[in-house]
Structure 1
Amino acid sequence: MVSTQPDLSELDSRLSPGALVTDRDVIDAYSSDKALFCPAGTASALVRAASVDDVVAVMRFATEHRIPVVTQGARTGLSGAANAVDGAILLNVAKLDAIVDIDVLNQTCRVQPGVINQDLKSALAEHGLSYPPDPGSVAISTIGGNVATNAGGMCCVKYGVTKDYVRGLTVVLADGTVTKLGRQTAKGVAGLDLASLFVGSEGTLGVIVEITLGLKPLLAPPVTGVAVFPDMESAGHTVSAFMASGAGPSMLELMDGATVAMINAYGDFGLPDGAGALLLVQSDAPGQAGVAELEGFEAIARGQGADEVFFSDDPADSEMFVAARRAVSPAMEQYVATLGGGELIDDVCVPRSRLGEFFARLAEIDARHMVEVSTAGHAGDGNMHPSVLFDASDEASVAEAKETFAEIMQLGLDLGGTITGEHGVGYLKQDWLVRELDAGAQVLQASIKSAVDPLGILNPGKMLG
């Protein structure tokens, strides 16, 4: 994209002192996210933006010299969307981390993209407010990154995903233009919904520098239930039947037996040993309605063959079981280290009605390959995260892992689902996007990309290719 190396001293003169980094070791350390099997090119520079003016300066310089720009936050992504491309400027916005405003009356807040999700939740709680989206990386991922991938989490089944809370965005476009998209109000249909277009765009359309979020009153303490099953199929059928009953749980999470065993090896969270599958359910319905909802869950779970069902309104129990669910990632990392360190986390989402079939066919995929598949996910949404575990130092094991991963994605499509529910496309699933989108959708998306980024400098090679 760029034939000669531009004079970076010119860029340096436009930036905040110390924002430009040219040290190769530092640049390389910022050149990838957490995804495996995704290429990382050799970036020409790293800019750790300290202000919106820094972002504008980078985009103007990049447009003038036709240099690719890869926007980053905390780099906790799992699809390679934050990975460097050759010659690029890595534009890291993690230092733009101000909570600009919390409006209690209108139940909104304005934040910069580098704000950590959990830090925002803690700040809002002091005002009796909450921001429900809670990805597994809640303690380390940024709101900007959450917007870039339309992140979800464990509360999605009742409270929705990131896009349901984004009201407005301030965006720096490819040529350095600063524009405001969306609205501050609860309602608004003035023009096309361009703010929503940027949610989930993975840095391919512009650089988000401020986000206006709608909020909820502080969520009520939930009643928590746990159901233990002999297999994943039974658990999947329970999810379908429970949600079809009209239930509105605030959480409905699923872990297979392998995942439960890893968590038990990692720490004492009170999970039963020997489970084939475990469903974690919460209801924050007021008063006895929450208990009644879980009593309905218990009846359905037992009807589907649950070995054990119990629930509690003790906040300590709720915290312990949610902590167990959040421990999936570190517990799996601990286990994978004994196998050779390979872990590919899939992110397929299927209709809830087909979860039982999904798990039956997933078991067949697992049995065909000489790798391990361990599954957890947001069952209430049909969004599952089968993880392929393998020996990263063994070529045969790596090949098996890639094939298994691909078969899982194809299974998601076969069942009327999607290749990614919340992790994004990035590099990792780019070749699969064309299998999900029809020809008309592909042309439309490419046309939009070309309209807002005519030089193709924004995160090139990712998502839309």
Structure 2
Amino acid sequence: MQQPYLDLIAQLEQQIDKQRIITDPTLALAYGTDASFYRLVPQIVLQLDSLQEVIFAVKTCYERQIPVTFRAAGTSLSGQAQSDSVLITLTRNWRDYKILNNGDQIWLQPGIIGAEANTYLAPFGRKIGPDPGSINTCKIGGIVANNASGMCCGTSENSYRTIAGMTVVLADGTVLNTLDPESVAAFKLNHTEMIDELMSLVTQCQQDEALAEKIRHKYRLKNTTGYSLNSLVDFDDPIDVLQHLFIGSEGTLGFIADVTYNTVVNHAHKASGLFVFADIEKTCLAVSELSKTSVAAVELMDSRSLASVADKPGMPSFIAELGEQGDTEAAALLIEIHAENDQALQQQIDQLLSIINDFAPIAQVDFSRDTKICEQLWGIRKELFPAVGAVRDTGTTVIIEDVAFPIEQLAPAVRELQGLFTQFDYHEAIIFGHALAGNLHFVFTQSFDTQAEISRYSDFMDAVAQLVAVDYQGSLKAEHGTGRNMAPFIELEWGSDGYQLMQNIKRIFDKRGILNPGVIINEDKESHIKNLKGMPAADELIDKCVECGFCEPVCPSRNLSLTPRQRNTVFREISRLRETNEDPARLAQMEKTYRYYGLDTCAATGLCADRCPVGINTGDLVRKLRQNHTDKAKQIANWTAEHFDSVTSVAKTGLTVANGMHKLLGSNNMRKLTKAAYDLSGHRIPLWTPHMPTAAKSAEMLKIKTVGREKIVYFPSCSARTMGTEAKAQDPRPLMDVTISLLEKAGYDVIIPQDLNKQCCGIPYTSKGFPDIAAQKAQQLEQALWQASNQGAYPVLMDTSPCASTGKETLRSEIKIYEPFEFVANFVLPKLAITPQNEPVMLHITCTSRRKGLAAVMEKVTKACANTVIIPDDITCCGFAGDKGFTKPELNASALAPLKRQVPAGCTEGYSNSRTCELGLSEHSGIEYRSILYLVDKVSH
């Protein structure tokens, strides 16, 4: 590392925790990755905790003239969140919000995910205006900095139009809160030169009628190419001009510390329909007419788009038939409408159908209010990007560009764009987009591993730029931001006068050029074909990863080590280095770092697969890599499988001993002693907590009554057979006793499988990379349950959700397996009287339950038993991950860091459906968590 960076680090360490100043090359590669097709590796990654730290870091970099880039969620596609210098990211402490004026406004910190903001506003019937397609992942800081938009917001409800105020940090460390009169007054007093220069640009634009008209024309379309020059003609107040210039500035003018939005109505009454037309001309003519109505969204999909999803499950049959019938010119419109009530909605439907029918659709799905049907229709649109990504050749990347044409010229523009695909051999390319705004996305695959491929891409982008910016006077970037990708083409689109304005804006705000250099303003006309990201083959389990980052919000290790995207990125580089053998020392260093950050701290929940557009489960890769065991480890694993009853017996003995020591030493001394043992053992001895369970009683002591009623098979998990309750439990009964009590109360005879103590679903072996042993244990369990259930005649209750989920995946389908909540909903609640308690309860939805779609069932059952149920925000998985809560407790602590502050006063109970998860939840919430079966048993009769 060069001396200027070493000196910078020394100064930063004066106010920033060393652990949040990242210089490890492997972690810098991981944390520096974004969704674009560029690769820059930062020298330093800063994880900043407060506004004061941001001010200090930015000011320090400014004084030392060291470039700095700000990063939010890293979902940007144009290279605007890349750095080879200092990359600033934010910790989870930037997630505060305030609902203002009964929901008419909302104050947000930049770490809030867009969809979360809408969740907070939902009770008020409001939402934020911007609606980017990545809203479930992208964060407010990025949404504002890119002026991101989507299917419905158009140009009237984006950040530029709905911003009420913001707090920004300028390059020299100055803070301005545009809603605080004192802050504004101080800024005007201390920054007269900046204000004068800004107002000079305003005067220049407003007096130059030709320039002003060009600006107004450009923003009649969706446009994020360059800076928001419309602020210079829309506003006369310098503070208004400044804050609107920050929108879409991509971190090149300063840091956005918070924003206040004017919210928009979130209509409860909606309908969607799909209409296919014979050719693109009719389709675009229909769009022109629809744009004159109050329709909310119109998504265009060309014939190639439709063909790419024709074989996907749930697609209307006519989509596949279009290709079979030779309708290769067909295009479709997916239309959504909103209204205040059903009557107004029906009036819109009638009006739109009258317009649509004039263009003779050849196939259609009529407007529907049914939520399921609407979701299926929008599923077609959402499948388009994955459809290309999933079938691309290994080693290629998926590129998604977005442009905007004047809507009256949409049809010929699409035709010519399709012609460019043919000319440059992008035969897989598809076109879709937000047709009301003339905003089209086109997706294609590209390799950058040869100069010929790079030249093909460069020539193609030159042709696209000429077509869009010159021939049609459109926008080269409608909503994805300029970044590095379109920086070389800004002058082509805006002309020399517009580009000069942008250069002046950059100079006014960033005189030393340290803020995100190379983005928006870049004198290198080949910057868009430099620092291109390679996508080498690594493993077929992750080769389709496009590094979009959609997986990250649900990853329990995201604030501790690596996310699935980052794990894939680093493993790709490790695989490349192994293949080329170009740098053995770097390879060894990366493999060492990856052991902890990539493998040891991955919970392998699979939640990432549910968010991934191409269905990648990085946990599968981690489990595969964990299979690299020594012969001794294999022997030990085999022995434990063959003597599983002995293993659980030893575990219970250990719990008994630990409980005895706790009584003797007290909690504080016990923590110190076991922490020392944990450290000395290299984290092999489990870390003790006051919520560590006592030993469960022997399963053979279960008291079961048989009186000839309906039969239920109960398989107590190995955790239930091993772990009793914690020492100071509100209900000291073991889970097995509670379960049998509840089942008998509901009128069932309970059957326990034979050789119970020898049985295991196999999940402990799967998670540790012993798939063969896991399969062996699953087969043994299948035989026991097949016999106990009378060949599948009786339902089977597994009292822990991970075991139930594994059983459903590995055992024969005739064995009907249920986890506790689903079982209670189907077999217990219908037979019992419930008196819900008034005391509030917390509910944790386990990752396996989320993956099985049981979140709604869990909430429904819990609300049937308690009048107040709290499901905490920002927790998708507890991170206990079997035994990692004992061996890697920092994973559990990180995943549950937001939990304790969300437990309301007076709440003493938490419920879930996994015994080990409940240990970690109890430890990090300050209240006792236990199985939902305890609550159901308590409130039923």
Q: Give your verdict on TM over 0.5.
A: yes
| Inter-CA distance 250–32: structure 2 relative to 1 (3 Å threshold) | same
- Are 2:4 and 1:4 equivalent residues in the alignment? yes
TM superposition shift of 1:441: 2.0
Task: Give the partner amino acid of 1:92.
Answer: T
Count of paired positions: 454
Structure 1: gaps of 5 or more residues: none
Counterpart in the other structure of 2:275: 227
Give the match's secondary structure for 1:437. Answer: helix
Match status 1:205 vs 2:261: no
- 1:339 Cα offset (Å): 7.0
Query: Which residues of 2 match residues 402-441 of structure 1 at below 5 A?
Result: 402-413=458-469, 414-441=471-498
Other structure's SS at 2:102 match: coil
Secondary structure in 2 matching 1:203: coil
* Structure-to-structure mapping, 1:55-66, within 5 angstroms: 55-66=54-65
The amino acid of 1:153's aligned partner reads G
Matched, 1:216 2:264: yes
Counterpart pick for 1:122 among 119, 134, 137: 119
State the SS of the aligned residue for 1:241.
helix
Give the letter for the 2:384 counterpart: V
2:320 aligns with one of 273, 289, 303:
273
Using the TM superposition, give the Cα deviation of residue 19 of structure 1 relative to its aligned residue in structure 2, in angstroms.
2.2
- What is the alpha-carbon distance in structure 2 between the residues aligned to residue 98 and residue 206 of structure 1? 20
Contact residue 69 and residue 86 of structure 2 kept, 8 A: yes
8 Å contact from structure 1 (residues 256, 278) kept in 2: yes
**1:164 equivalent in alignment to 2:161:** yes
Relative contact order, higher structure (CA 8 A, sep 6+):
1
CA RMSD of aligned residues (A): 2.4
Q: Alpha-carbon deviation of 1:396?
A: 4.1
1:349 alignment partner in structure 2: 404
After TM superposition, list the pairs within 5 Å mapping 1:203-352 onto structure 2. 203-243=251-291, 246-270=292-316, 272-275=319-322, 276-286=330-340, 287-309=342-364, 310-336=366-392, 338=393, 341-352=396-407
Q: Deviations over 1:195-229 (max 9, x none)?
A: 11100001000011111111123322212121112
1:5 partner amino acid: Y
How many Å separate the matches in 1 of 2:457 and 2:313? 27
CA distances 1:323-348 after superposition (whole Å, capped 9, x unpaired): 33233332321132x47533221111
CA distance in structure 2 between the partners assigned to 1:265 and 1:24 by the alignment = 43
Gaps of at least 5 residues in structure 2 are 182-234, 323-329, 523-941
Provide the rounded CA distance (Å) in 1 between the counterparts of 2:154 and 2:10.
50
- Mapping for residues 77-156 of structure 1, pairs under 5 Å: 77-85=76-84, 88-93=85-90, 95-105=92-102, 107-156=104-153
CA distance change for structure 1 residues 296 and 396 in 2, over 3 Å: closer, same or farther? Answer: farther
Instruction: Tell me, yes or no, if the aligned pair for 2:72 and 2:90 is still in contact at 8 Å.
Output: yes
| 4+ aligned runs moved over 6 Å, structure 1 | none
TM-score (norm 1): 0.91
Deviates more, 1:272-281 or 1:59-68: 272-281
Label 1:391 to 1:45 Cα distance change in 2 as closer, same or farther (>3 A). Answer: closer
Kindly indicate whether the alpha-carbon contact (under 8 Å) linking 1:16 and 1:54 is maintained by their aligned counterparts in 2.
no
CA pair 10-115 structure 1, distance change in 2 beyond 3 A: same
Deviation at 1:385, TM superposition (A): 0.5
1:270 and 1:118, CA in 2 relative to 1: closer, same or farther beyond 3 A? farther
Which range moves more in the overlay, 144-153 or 366-375? Answer: 366-375
Amino acid at match of 1:175: D
Residue 362 of structure 1 is matched in structure 2 by: 417
1:176 aligns with 173
Q: Distance in 2 between matches of 1:239 and 1:274?
A: 24
SS at match of 1:284: strand
CA distance in 2, matches of 1:332, 1:265: 13
Q: 1:456 aligns with which of 513, 516, 519?
A: 513
More strand per residue: 1
Q: Secondary structure at the match of 2:97?
A: strand
Q: Is the 8 A contact 2:166 2:179 kept in 1?
A: yes
3-state SS, counterpart of residue 14 of structure 1: coil
How far does residue 305 in structure 1 lie from its aligned partner after superposition? 4.1
Counterpart of 1:444 (choices 498, 501, 525) is 501
Q: Deviations over 1:379-420 (max 9, x none)?
A: 011010112234555654553344333322322111121110
How far apart are the structure 2 equivalents of 1:21 and 1:249? Answer: 48
Residue 291 of structure 1 deviates from its aligned partner by: 2.9
Are the aligned partners of 2:103 and 2:124 in contact in 1 as well (CA < 8 Å)?
no
Give the 3-state SS of the residue equivalent to 2:399 in structure 1: strand
| 1:73 and 1:94 in contact (8 A); partners too | no
Do residues 400 (structure 1) and 397 (structure 2) align? no
Does structure 1 retain, via aligned residues, the 8 Å contact 2:109–2:141?
Answer: yes
What SS is found at the alignment partner of 2:473? coil
Q: CA deviation at 1:358?
A: 1.0
